[in-house]
């Protein structure tokens, strides 16, 4: 059975998609079989892997119809190693509204994932910046949650709320646990970020991943080129440092989830 991890934080722009896509690529690069599911109507992860150009079905189709298989598209993103992607589209927003009146609406994705989970070592879910039905579907389908956060004062309040919500989801999914909080765009040169990072490690202790992802222009650029930092890469120091950061995080993820 695959290790399944939802990447979640109801706060917007904290690095969920960037973490999910580069972690997926890092795990694939290590030779793991990886599926990544885009649960966000913004479909940023779908664009980040360049799937939007080729897809004819999306997660929306599978969520609306139990008998439709999860549409999976294979991309050779991690330097020749494949990553499978279940794409999203803006239509997912309509699906979210349509599911509101359906019985068992939080369980739909889990049913689909159970059908494919022997084919993978890791299944990652990218989620939207809300705690609505789509995020709930991911939290019910997953065993673990990774919480990316910025090292900013206003991010701390959100973390408390998120962990309380995760606690509530265990009613539907008793095996759900936080795998770790990751500083996903950490600029250690800024005093506020250093202070918040120190507080975070004090408050949340071992829950915080030892590895953090530095703020890095190559990471920023790769998101919009339709490729992970592994594929977009480049040989300069910034790109190599970014790849290394996600590899270190991936190793820690594997060790914690083992
Ligand atoms: N380590 C990093 N260094 C530089 N830029 C980063 C880093 N991580 C993420 N970013 C950038 O920050 C922005 C927000 O990141 P991302 O889209 O991953 O956040 P998100 O939490 O998925 O957002 P949303 O809540 O809208 O889904 C993007 O422009 C992304 O390229
Ligand atoms: Mg996102």
pLDDT band at 227 (very low <50, low <70, confident <90, very high): confident
Provide φ and ψ at 210, rounded to 5°: -65, -40
80 Cβ contact partners less than 8 Å away, ≥ 6 residues apart: none
Instruction: Give the largest Cα separation in the chain, rounded.
Output: 53
Choice among 74-78, 173-177, 185-189 with the minimum mean pLDDT: 74-78
Nearest CA to ligand 1 atom 25: 12
Tens of pLDDT, residues 149-170: 999 998 888 898 899 999 999 9
Q: Which of 1, 51, 3 is nearest to 257 (CA)?
A: 3
Quick one: DSSP state of residue 119? Answer: G
CA of 44 to the centre of ligand 1 (A): 10
Q: What is the CATH number of the domain that holds 157?
A: 3.40.50.300
Helix (H, G, I), strand (E, B) or coil at 171: coil
Predicted TM-score (pTM) of the model is: 0.97
Please give the tally of structural domains in the chain.
1
Ranked by mean pLDDT, the top range of 99-103, 118-122, 163-167, 236-240 is 118-122
Tens of pLDDT, residues 138-150: 999 999 999 999 9
- Is the CB–ligand 1 distance for residue 16 below 6 Å? yes
Quick one: DSSP state of residue 214? Answer: B
Which atom of ligand 1 sits closest to the CA of residue 148? 21
Tens of pLDDT, residues 75-86: 987 677 899 999
Q: What are the structure tokens assigned to 29, written together?
A: 């690069």
Nearest CA to ligand 1 atom 5: 220
Q: Say what the pLDDT of residue 233 is.
A: 64
Which atom of ligand 1 sits closest to the CA of residue 223? 31
Domain that residue 162 falls in? 3-257
Nearest CA to ligand 1 atom 9: 15
């Amino acid at each position: 059975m695959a290790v399944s991890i939802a990447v979640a934080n109801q706060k917007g722009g904290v690095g969920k998609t960037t973490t999910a896509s580069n972690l997926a690529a890092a795990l694939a690069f290590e030779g793991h079989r990886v599926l990544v599911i885009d649960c966000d109507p913004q479909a940023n992860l779908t664009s980040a892997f360049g799937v939007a150009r080729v897809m004819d079905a999306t997660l929306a189709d599978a969520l609306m119809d139990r008998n439709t298989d999860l549409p999976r598209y294979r991309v050779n993103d991690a330097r020749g190693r494949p990553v499978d992607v279940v794409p999203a589209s803006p239509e997912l927003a309509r699906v979210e509204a349509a599911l509101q009146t359906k019985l068992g609406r939080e369980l739909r994705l889990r049913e689909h994932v159970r059908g494919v989970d022997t084919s993978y070592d890791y299944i990652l879910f990218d989620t939207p910046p809300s705690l609505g039905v789509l995020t709930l579907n991911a939290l019910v389908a997953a065993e673990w949650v990774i919480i990316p956060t910025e090292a900013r004062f206003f991010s701390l309040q959100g973390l408390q709320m998120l962990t309380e919500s995760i606690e509530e989801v265990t009613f539907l999914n008793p095996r759900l646990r936080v795998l770790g909080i990751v500083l996903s765009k950490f600029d250690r040169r800024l005093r506020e970020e250093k202070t918040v990072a120190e507080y975070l490690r004090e408050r949340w202790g071992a829950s915080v991943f030892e590895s953090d992802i530095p703020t890095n222009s190559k990471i920023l650029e790769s998101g919009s080129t339709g490729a992970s930092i592994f594929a977009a890469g480049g040989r300069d120091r910034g790109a190599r440092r970014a790849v290394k950061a996600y590899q270190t995080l991936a190793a820690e993820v594997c060790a914690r989830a083992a």
